[in-house]
Structure 1
Amino acid sequence: MTVASREGVDPVRLNSTSPVALIEIDNPPVNATSQAVRAGLLAAIREADSDPRIEAVVIACAGKTFVAGADIREFGQVPREPHLPDVINAIEACSKPVVAAIQGTALGGGCEIALACHARVAEPGASLGLPEVKLGLVPGAGGTQRLPRLVGLEAALDLVTGGRPVRAPEALRLGLIDRLSSGDLRQDAMALARELIGQPLRRTGERSVAPLDAETASAKVAEIRKKARGAEAPGKAAELVLLAANLPLQDGMARERETFLELRSSAQSAALRHAFFGEREVMRLPGLDSVEPRPIQKVGIVGAGTMGSGIAIAFADAGFDVRIVETSEQALSAGQARVTDVYDKQVASGRITPAAQDERLKAIGYAIGTSSLLDRDLVIEAVFEDLEVKRALFRDLDAILPPGTILATNTSYLDVSLIAAATSRPADVVGLHFFSPAHVMKLLEIVRTDATAADVVATGLALAKRLRKIPVVCRVCDGFVGNRILSRYRQQAEYLLEEGALPHEVDAALEAFGFPMGPFAVSDLAGLDINWARRKRLAPTRDPRERYVDIADRLCEAGRFGRKTGAGWYRYEDGKREIDPAVTALVEESSQRRGLTRRAISADEIQSRIRAAIVNEACKILDERIVERPLDVDVVMMHGYGYPAWRGGPLFEADRVGLQPILAQVKERAAQDGPGWEPAKGLVDRAASGAKFYP
């Protein structure tokens, strides 16, 4: 029995062997639950159920993965029958044992298919999860009702509301799967299916769930909503999971489906789908489709500080041969200790095994001096943020490295063109701006100069894919995309201080907006001295008419560099952030010195002004062709700066809010704040014509 799909190829096949039949899903690349797959699976399970020769069934998938989720080509379309809940209910209702054989990933609908089976066998490297909240949704085919029946309410709350996938060993401990495969997955699943023949069927939906007491349940939901920072889906998912303890399966599924359909048409889900597709679209840069990247396996890192160590870990985790160089044994030993400490903590938390730690530590070598980098395919500098220091290093590297070696700078702000000009090979120079901590943060800005070769840019994109980073390609300007926008909205935040707000009020307003931290808390975390150095570098070229707030400079002059010194915009007692009356006095004195009458500033005004600053600077970046697409800005801000993904990024959200009110806010600020706040041409033109960033 087969159901034809793409160009006559069968997406579902039933091999009616006796006593255990095999249903194979074959819908490359990830066996998504397209309409053809749903129809084929439903037909296959019905045929197996009615065939007297078949006594048990195994559901398996061709390729490297189990069903990895919905077919993204069907996003936004009216669902076509059969609907996935009906298919899954038919699997659970089958009168013969059904076993899932799971390899790769079983996500979303794939996980829900596995949950409905009567038993589950998985390869040790497989992972299972319900990531729907990341798209502003809840599971829509029984996931919120069946998962708690297998793993209990607390574990289900964690997995469903966070969208976190679990590896097979953890899934086994939780009760999500029944066995780990010892080698041949299908044979192991067949063996389990034969064991279940004639035994009472273990239908997940018929299991009971131990309830939480009302106070604990309420506290759990409150905690989840707080952690979600304004996203709706996690809280709604939590409420559904808790229903599993009190409602029959079908009643709970009806509530689940109702919530799923409600969220599917919500603004938040539309924004998160935009974010989902944006993460994939940034990998496809116009003009590079046919450009082959250079082969990279041996990577050199110059500098063993926090950034250099983090970059080295990111490459070691991805299987590269890494060598870190420093100028002294002391600096090198400190870097090696940083790397080891990160891996020690990952082992202690269970994220990696001791064997994996050993393998990754062996992938990183250490040496004094750049002469040890002669065999490297790529060398990345992560030294002090000083233009002449970096230019001198690149001159030295240019003199010793063979032709074809790519030279990359991790600079956050500096002109990559000037760094490249210090070499005889500017075509081989590129910016690879990692975000701290480099082994954790997903964003990678790939900065191309006018001279950077196309295959070097393509290599940057290929590296990002292998490193599991989200890359955005941009051109040269001070701060590139993210830090340029950050500087502008941090400046507006400081204007708010002079006019009447206090640091904790600005931070609270932006955290209520959905940012994980406000700009002043972020400054303390990063270190105020970093931006102080930049301000001093730019001081000679600053427009004397520009409004300049010197509060941060005065904090730095007093040695208040943030958390690392125990004081910055806040003071820190045992690592806890506290409002500091000394900063309040400094802010109020600054207002008085400028002759400004302080006033109460609402959270709405703070949010509106910060949003206007971000959108206007983003439009200037688009006007200058620093990036080609609005989605590049959105992706940078979401993955590098914590812009809430459920808003879709600043430009996606600007379409929803409306460009006219944003432009009006920008014009008002330009009139009051002076140079630097002129409305961007692209914003003015779009507001006048009614055009959107995403038509």
Structure 2
Amino acid sequence: MALPLWKNLLQTTKKRILQQRWLSLYNGAHGYEEELVKKKLQQFSGGSVNLSKEDNGIGILTLNNPKLMNAFTGTMIVELQERVTELENWKDGKGLIIHGAGNTFCSGSDLNAVKEMSNSQDGMNMCMFMQNTLTRLMRLPLISVALVQGKAFGGGAELTTACDFRLMTPGSEIRFVHKHMGLVPGWGGAARLVRIVGSGAALQLLGGAARVDPERALRLGLSEETLPSSDETTALGEARAWLNQYTEGPTTVIRAVKKVVTAGRELPLEAALRTEKDIFGTVWGGPANLQALDRRPKQK
């Protein structure tokens, strides 16, 4: 009797969480037509966003436009959304590392595309598109890490804030340079930055367009650790090892951990408690729980 009840609860909770994850921040009521925005963005080609999935449940998302310091072209913005959708459907995923090709992270938006989309409506559409995508990225049931090598500027700095953790390599820097472009963050970076470092530090970083090196990032709580190596391949291996301490274990449990943390961060207390209860119900009496009980010595 208990097993069918557990399976039914699991399916109900999964459905609710999936609906929340796919919920768009913006729709037609906000003047936002996603398919039209995609067509506009796809006019500006170049680079790619690549995803590989490893057997241990770790995904590697690579921004690949090294000629422009991995700046986002229009097609890369659309590809990022496609990769996030792929990750949402990856049932075996536990963790994600985001990094840039060519030993640098991301310099923001491709200025050629920005100049061609300089009217207010185009800018707002790109803003809404990226806010939707990065919010979905942040809500993935995967523990995510931004591996910052070289420069993470502008939109690249915003992207780091959509990850659960940030690791930096020697000589790297994060910089919210929007003020120098006559802008403020538009991809959700300001709202997320306040939650990571607090309003005072966020105001300093945005108002001063301050350079944040690994030492300062550690002090602010913007970075978790400075990795030993600045070599691209070696640093990626170090990031894998760092992430493994949090993703080692049953997939169902790791994903449940991320879901309860997301609920606690985003929902009012009562709603977060109810969501935690529902997620708890999906793992209580589940295979990982029963195996752990079997391994424990009996109490006398």
TM-score between both structures, scaled by the size of structure 2: 0.62
Measured after TM superposition, the shift of residue 108 of structure 1 is 1.2
Q: Which residue of 2 aligns with 1:396?
A: none
Q: Distance in 1 between matches of 2:44 and 2:136?
A: 28
Aligned in 2, Cα 1:204/1:158: closer, same or farther, shift over 3 Å? Answer: farther
Q: Which residue of 1 aligns with 2:243?
A: 193
Indicate the structure (1 or 2) with the bigger Cα radius of gyration: 1
Deviations 1:226-267 (A, max 9, x none): xxxxxxxxxxxxxxxxxxxxxxxxxxxxxxxxxxxxxxxxxx
Aligned partner of residue 86 in structure 1, secondary structure: helix
1:126 aligns with 2:172: yes
Measured after TM superposition, the shift of residue 62 of structure 1 is 0.3
Aligned partner of residue 83 in structure 1, secondary structure: helix
Aligned in 2, Cα 1:6/1:60: closer, same or farther, shift over 3 Å? Answer: farther
Q: Is the 8 A contact 2:107 2:155 kept in 1?
A: yes
Aligned length: 204
Measured after TM superposition, the shift of residue 6 of structure 1 is 11
Q: Distance in 1 between matches of 2:185 and 2:44?
A: 31
Q: Distance in 1 between matches of 2:47 and 2:181?
A: 29
1:47 aligns with 2:86: yes
Q: Distance in 2 between matches of 1:161 and 1:86?
A: 25
After TM superposition, the structure 1 = structure 2 runs for residues 17-32 of structure 1, keeping only pairs within 5 Å, are 17-18=54-55, 19-29=57-67, 30-32=69-71
Q: Which residue of 2 aligns with 1:59?
A: 98
Q: Is the 8 A contact 2:150 2:173 kept in 1?
A: yes
Q: Distance in 2 between matches of 1:185 and 1:205?
A: 31
- Which amino acid in the other structure matches residue 100 of structure 1? A
Measured after TM superposition, the shift of residue 32 of structure 1 is 0.9
- Gaps of at least 5 residues in structure 1 are 209-695
1:158 to 201, 204, 207: 204
Calculate percent identity across the aligned residue pairs.
27
Measured after TM superposition, the shift of residue 49 of structure 1 is 2.5
Q: Distance in 1 between matches of 2:198 and 2:48?
A: 34
- Gaps of at least 5 residues in structure 2 are 1-41, 248-253, 268-300
- Which amino acid in the other structure matches residue 13 of structure 1? N
Q: Is the 8 A contact 2:44 2:113 kept in 1?
A: no
1:206 aligns with 2:262: no
1:149 to 173, 195, 202: 195
2:108 to 53, 58, 69: 69
After TM superposition, the structure 1 = structure 2 runs for residues 287-302 of structure 1, keeping only pairs within 5 Å, are none
Measured after TM superposition, the shift of residue 188 of structure 1 is 2.1
1:182 aligns with 2:232: no
Aligned in 2, Cα 1:42/1:205: closer, same or farther, shift over 3 Å? Answer: farther
Measured after TM superposition, the shift of residue 90 of structure 1 is 1.5
- Which amino acid in the other structure matches residue 172 of structure 1? L
Q: Distance in 2 between matches of 1:23 and 1:36?
A: 16
Q: Is the 8 A contact 2:46 2:73 kept in 1?
A: no
1:13 aligns with 2:72: no
Aligned in 2, Cα 1:148/1:108: closer, same or farther, shift over 3 Å? Answer: same
Measured after TM superposition, the shift of residue 9 of structure 1 is 7.0
Q: Is the 8 A contact 2:178 2:185 kept in 1?
A: yes
Measured after TM superposition, the shift of residue 124 of structure 1 is 2.0
Q: Distance in 2 between matches of 1:203 and 1:152?
A: 18
1:98 to 136, 144, 152: 144
1:171 aligns with 2:230: no
Aligned partner of residue 102 in structure 2, secondary structure: coil
Between Structure 1 and Structure 2, the one with more helix by share is 2
Aligned partner of residue 62 in structure 2, secondary structure: strand
Aligned in 2, Cα 1:7/1:207: closer, same or farther, shift over 3 Å? Answer: closer
Measured after TM superposition, the shift of residue 50 of structure 1 is 1.2
Q: Distance in 1 between matches of 2:105 and 2:44?
A: 22
Q: Distance in 1 between matches of 2:63 and 2:170?
A: 21
Aligned in 2, Cα 1:16/1:161: closer, same or farther, shift over 3 Å? Answer: same
Aligned partner of residue 144 in structure 1, secondary structure: helix
Q: Which residue of 1 aligns with 2:274?
A: none
Q: Is the 8 A contact 1:117 1:203 kept in 2?
A: no
Q: Is the 8 A contact 2:60 2:98 kept in 1?
A: yes
Q: Distance in 2 between matches of 1:204 and 1:38?
A: 27
Deviations 1:63-101 (A, max 9, x none): 131011111012241346672212211210111111111
Measured after TM superposition, the shift of residue 137 of structure 1 is 1.1
Higher relative contact order (CA 8 A, sep 6+): 2
Measured after TM superposition, the shift of residue 53 of structure 1 is 2.9
Q: Which residue of 2 aligns with 1:83?
A: 129
Q: Is the 8 A contact 1:121 1:188 kept in 2?
A: no
- Which amino acid in the other structure matches residue 28 of structure 1? P
Measured after TM superposition, the shift of residue 195 of structure 1 is 2.4
Q: Which residue of 1 aligns with 2:26?
A: none
Q: Is the 8 A contact 1:116 1:204 kept in 2?
A: no
Deviations 1:396-429 (A, max 9, x none): xxxxxxxxxxxxxxxxxxxxxxxxxxxxxxxxxx
Deviations 1:294-352 (A, max 9, x none): xxxxxxxxxxxxxxxxxxxxxxxxxxxxxxxxxxxxxxxxxxxxxxxxxxxxxxxxxxx
Q: Distance in 2 between matches of 1:171 and 1:6?
A: 36
Measured after TM superposition, the shift of residue 127 of structure 1 is 0.4
Measured after TM superposition, the shift of residue 11 of structure 1 is 0.8
Q: Which residue of 2 aligns with 1:693?
A: none
- Which amino acid in the other structure matches residue 15 of structure 1? S
1:38 aligns with 2:77: yes
Q: Is the 8 A contact 1:33 1:69 kept in 2?
A: yes
Q: Distance in 1 between matches of 2:135 and 2:157?
A: 14
- Which amino acid in the other structure matches residue 113 of structure 1? L
Measured after TM superposition, the shift of residue 205 of structure 1 is 9.8
Aligned in 2, Cα 1:50/1:130: closer, same or farther, shift over 3 Å? Answer: same
